[in-house]
Amino acid sequence: MSDYLAKPKSAPRGGILVLHAWWGLNDFFKDFCNRLANEGYLVLAPDLYNGAIARTIPEAEKLRTKLKREPTSEKIIGALKQLRRETEQPIGLIGFSLGAYWGLWLVDEQPKTFAAAILFYGTRGMKLSETNTAFLGHFAGTDEYVSDSGKKKLEKTLKAAGGQTSFHTYPNTRHWFFENDRPEYNAQAAKAAWERTTEFLKNHLV
């Protein structure tokens, strides 16, 4: 299996499902899982591309078009079931771009499952009417992939469903600003987003 599991050194304080961006489950996302494990969480990242990795936007677009709804949804739900078998602690969700899109789909399908969900520069329309999930969003100041209207609509939907919601927009950044293997990487914004992420997890995965 090409899924990635990162375990903490002691008993986990919670489980986290990580959904990668359209590049695939590359070294950045595996390292991100390791960083979360160092914070005390059991982390599982399913490989939505079955080992394929994109290094350019055209390659990523090609891989994304190959994703089929049913096998992708089954893979994500299977990973969630595995994570829940591994720990009885509260479960969180973190999605990047494409992964955020699928993560929001999963919250729509299972609105009572996650204690916390963190979105990195990703949105989608939702039918969500009620949820126990708390949401944290990290968004770029300039983003050709995420519209301001889409972001505002999502924030309104999540709040109306009862989810504690906090969205942050980082000035002078672009899509993928958190990923240090991308030219869009912004170290200052990434540091702030990481600190907000770990604080959010400590407050909600309890």
Please give the pLDDT value at position 2.
84
Per-residue pLDDT, 206: 82
Q: What pLDDT does 8 receive?
A: 97
| Tens digits of residue pLDDT in 4-15 | 999 999 999 999
**How confident is the model at residue 171, as a pLDDT?**
97
* Distance from C-alpha of 5 to C-alpha of 13, rounded to nearest angstrom: 15
- Cα 123 to Cα 33, 77, 198: the distances in Å are 22, 19, 21
Which phi and psi angles does 25 have, rounded to 5°?
-80, 75
Q: Of 124, 195, 112, give the one whose Cα is nearest residue 161.
A: 112
- pLDDT under 70 in the chain at which residues? 1
* Cβ–Cβ under 8 Å, residues 204 and 92: yes
Tell me which CATH code domain 4-204 carries: 3.40.50.1820
Tokens of 101: 């899109």
Given this model, what pLDDT does residue 1 score? 58
Q: What is the DSSP string of 146-194?
A: S-HHHHHHHHHHHHHTT--EEEEEEEEEETTTT-TTSTT--HHHHHHHH
